């Protein structure tokens, strides 16, 4: 049985969305407390994440954390619906590149902007935020989804993150990015996630 350690309205919402898309049985354990970014605050002892963050997921005896790892793990193992090409299939390379583009490039680039840190080429393993926005605008101007014609878990992870950043004005809104986010969130599984996550 899959167990998702989740806290509503946080990053782990992407995994709720993904599980709803895959339509596999799972249970949700709500993490009651999180540590804040500066390390203060209590960790919920029931949360298996080593840093007390969400999402974390257990499946049988395995514990998986970090959004990109969970998305890849789930889409490789549960093929109820194809949400990413398997190893050996076309577009596997693109799928992996975009899945890891979010934590490896997009997140730190926007963090750099938020903290007004000057980008030093070569010293950072990512690109400056303007280049990230430029690439996404160019790519999504001619592609319906990150992998082209087919929706994948990369759209949930990277696209879902982008949707959040546009909402909170951390990324620059353009017609291309706005249309893309409207496209990926106009899905039954996204709406189910929003209902499940709504304040009760």
Partner 1 sequence: MITLYHAPRSRSSSILWLLEELGEPYRIAITPIVYGNGEGNAAPEGYRRIHPHKKVPAIDHDGTIVFECAAIALYLADAFPQAGLAPSVGDKRRGPYVTWLAYWTGVMNPIITARFRGWDNDSPTGFGTFEDMENHLAGTLESHPYIAGDSFTAADVLVGGALGYFSGTLLPPRKSFDDYLARIADRPARQRALAKDTG
Binding site for partner 1 (CB under 8 A): 36-39, 50-51, 53, 59-69, 72-73, 76-77, 86-88, 92-94, 96-97, 99-101, 103-105, 107-108, 111, 115, 117, 120-127, 131, 135, 139
User: What is the strand order of the sheet 62-65 is part of?
Assistant: 26-30, 2-6, 56-59, 62-65
Using the minimum distance from each CB to partner 1, give the nearer residue, 50 or 148: 50
CB of 195 to partner 1, least distance (A): 28
How far apart are the C-alpha atoms of 98 and 103, rounded to whole Å?
Answer: 10
Give the torsion sign (CA, 54, 59, 64, 67).
negative
Q: Are 47 and 40 in contact (CB under 8 A)?
A: no
Strand partners, 98: none
d(CA 94, CA 109): 20
**Closer of 2 and 181 to partner 1 (Cβ):** 2
Q: In 64-120, which ranges are continuous DSSP H helix?
A: 67-77, 92-101, 107-114
Nearest CB to partner 1, comparing residues 93 and 199: 93
Q: Tell me if 173 sits within 8 A of 113, measured CB to CB.
A: no
CB of residue 183 to partner 1, shortest distance in Å: 21
Q: What CA–CA distance (Å, rounded) separates 97 from 101?
A: 6
Rank residues 118 and 200 by Cβ distance to partner 1 and give the closer one. Answer: 118
Tell me how far, at minimum, the Cβ of 192 lies from partner 1, in Å: 25
Measured from the CB atom, the residue of 94 and 197 that comes closer to partner 1 is 94
Q: Nearer Cβ to partner 1, position 131 or 173? A: 131
Helix (H, G, I), strand (E, B) or coil at 105: helix
């Amino acid at each position: 049985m899959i167990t998702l350690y989740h806290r509503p309205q946080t990053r782990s919402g992407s995994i709720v969305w993904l599980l709803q898309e895959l339509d596999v049985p799972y249970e949700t354990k709500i993490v009651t407390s999180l540590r804040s970014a500066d390390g203060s605050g209590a960790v919920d002892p029931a949360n298996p994440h080593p840093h007390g963050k969400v999402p974390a997921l257990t499946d049988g005896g395995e514990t998986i954390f970090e959004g990109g790892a969970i998305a890849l793990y789930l889409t490789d193992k549960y093929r109820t619906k194809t949400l990413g090409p398997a190893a050996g299939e076309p577009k596997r390379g693109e799928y992996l590149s975009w899945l890891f583009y979010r934590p490896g490039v997009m997140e730190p680039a926007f963090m750099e902007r938020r903290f007004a840190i000057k980008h030093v080429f070569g010293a950072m393993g990512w690109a400056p935020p303007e280049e990230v926005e430029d690439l996404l605008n160019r790519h999504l101007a001619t592609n319906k989804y990150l992998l082209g014609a087919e929706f994948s878990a990369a759209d949930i992870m990277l696209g879902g993150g982008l949707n959040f950043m546009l909402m909170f004005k951390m990324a620059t809104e353009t017609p291309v990015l706005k249309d893309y986010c409207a496209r990926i969130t106009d899905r039954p599984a996204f709406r189910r996630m929003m209902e499940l996550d709504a304040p009760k």
